[in-house]
């Protein structure tokens, strides 16, 4: 999918406003304010240590930021391409949550050469991408982390009830971006809400659809979101947040994922992980939102990695599990290169959510 070619929509301005609110236009070194006081919070997973900071936005109340809180096991090796596994508890030592985690591996970064970029995107989007890409250089498969921004309770505050929560699900084509570049401290302080940003697996690592007989799977990226929301449902009261007042906000592909979660059996009554949703510039009903021929791209990636012979990739009768194990044994860089060698039609999704009957 090549969304950089898409026409700017009326929601582009809202997405830019979100970035301006949550991310001061500074270098990576000054993206997050340096804290002067450490705050510890005891959660069901263990003690988390964050920093109290003063948001870069005038006379705003202090915010405690907890950066790089793990919510899932590193999805590498035998866990690659599979559903998320909840992070282990850290009961013996406090978790230092004062450093951003790496972004998930970016499989589909947009073109930044000005000569070519301006043929594919507006000047506004070029500026957005130009500011964002430097913050995505540090990448790893060990990327299932979230960041929490919690406004401090002031001495003269009348606040007694727990705070509403906004979970930001980033967009941008299922293949690039991360939650970490978005600093939620200003929004948390100004709105007196808990803001959560998070990373989830992208591209082939998050949406490698494959089918065997009548059974399909491959929504790993969605399972990441479910895993994060499940953990938040338990730990939010420790941070002063209300797990019964969680709103999901997504734009573009993030909005599509949020709308899919709205219909997922994993988030239905009895296991309600959020109560409201805000969708910007995206929906699961869009033609690009779902993978149209996942088995074809699965076969092409496997063939490029040498895990499937060329004369069998068109029909693909080989055992999916055997092929998948071979693909899991390859370094992540090899998998990314195998994907980049595939031609995917403009505006369509090669690696995107599929109907699997589970998620």
284: CATH? 3.40.50.1820
How high is the pLDDT of residue 10?
44
For the chain, give me the number of helices (H) and strands (E)? 11, 11
DSSP line for 252-309: THHHHHHHHHHH-GGGSTTS---SEEEEES--TTSTTSS-S-HHHHHHHHHHHTTSS-
Cα angle 63-64-65, degrees, rounded to a multiple of 5? 110
Measured CA to CA, the distance from residue 69 to residue 101 in angstroms comes to: 8
In a domain, 141, yes or no: yes
pLDDT at 24: 37
Q: Give per-residue pLDDT as tens, 112-127.
A: 666 666 667 777 888 8
**Helix pair angle (320-329, 294-304), 10° resolution:** 50
Residue 226 three-state SS: helix
Q: What pLDDT is recorded for position 114?
A: 61
The answer to whether position 356 is within a domain reads no
> Is residue 296, in this structure, part of any structural domain at all?
yes
Q: Tell me, what's the pLDDT at 38?
A: 92
Q: Give pLDDT, residue 2.
A: 43
Whether residue 176 lies inside any domain: the answer is: yes
Residue 173 in any domain: the answer is yes
Q: Could you tell me if residue 310 is inside a domain?
A: yes
The answer to whether position 94 is within a domain reads: yes
Residues in the chain predicted with pLDDT less than 70, given as ranges, are 1-36, 57-58, 111-119, 154-159, 310-318
How high is the pLDDT of residue 4?
A: 43
Looking at residue 309, its pLDDT comes to 75
pLDDT given at position 119: 65
| Domain-embedded: residue 358 | no
Given this model, what pLDDT does residue 180 score? 92
311-356 confidence digits (pLDDT tens): 654 455 558 889 999 999 999 999 999 999 998 877 777 899 998 8
Q: At what angle do helices 220-235 and 253-263 cross, to 10 degrees?
A: 70
Instruction: Read off the pTM.
Output: 0.87
Domain extent for 61: 3-340
How far apart are alpha carbons 329 and 220 in whole angstroms? 18
**Residues making up the chain, counted from first to last:** 359
| Structural domain total, the chain | 1
State the pLDDT at residue 25. 29
């Amino acid at each position: 999918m090549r969304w950089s070619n898409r026409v700017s929509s009326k929601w582009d301005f809202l997405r830019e406003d979100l970035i301006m609110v949550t991310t001061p236009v500074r270098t990576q070194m000054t993206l997050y304010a340096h804290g002067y006081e450490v705050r510890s919070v005891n959660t069901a997973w263990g003690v988390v240590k964050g920093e109290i900071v003063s948001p870069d936005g005038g006379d705003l109340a202090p915010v405690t930021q907890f950066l790089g809180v793990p919510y899932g096991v590193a999805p590498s090796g035998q866990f690659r391409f599979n559903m998320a596994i909840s992070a282990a508890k850290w009961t013996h030592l406090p978790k230092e949550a004062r450093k951003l985690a790496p972004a998930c591996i970016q499989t589909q970064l947009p073109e930044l050469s000005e000569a070519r970029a301006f043929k594919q995107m507006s000047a506004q989007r070029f500026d957005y991408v130009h500011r964002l890409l430097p913050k995505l250089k540090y990448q790893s498969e060990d990327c299932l982390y979230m960041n929490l921004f919690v406004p401090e309770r002031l001495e003269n505050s009348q606040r007694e009830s727990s705070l509403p929560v906004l979970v930001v699900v980033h967009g941008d084509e299922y293949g690039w971006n991360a939650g970490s570049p978005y600093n939620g401290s200003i929004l948390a302080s100004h709105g007196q809400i808990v803001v959560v940003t998070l990373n989830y697996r992208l591209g082939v690592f998050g949406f490698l659809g494959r089918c065997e007989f009548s059974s399909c799977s491959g929504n790993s990226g969605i399972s990441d979101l479910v895993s994060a929301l499940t953990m938040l449902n338990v730990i939010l009261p420790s941070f002063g947040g209300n797990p019964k007042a969680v709103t999901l906000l997504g734009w573009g592909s993030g909005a599509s994922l949020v709308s899919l979660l709205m219909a997922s059996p994993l988030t239905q009554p009895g296991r309600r992980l959020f109560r409201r949703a805000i969708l910007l510039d995206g929906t699961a009903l869009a033609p690009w939102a779902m993978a149209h021929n996942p088995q074809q791209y699965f076969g092409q990636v496997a063939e490029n990695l040498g895990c499937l012979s060329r004369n069998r990739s068109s029909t693909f009768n080989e055992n999916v599990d055997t092929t998948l194990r071979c693909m899991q044994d390859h370094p992540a860089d090899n998998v990314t290169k195998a994907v980049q060698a595939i031609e995917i039609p403009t505006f369509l999704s090669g690696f995107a959510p599929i109907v699997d009957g589970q998620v």
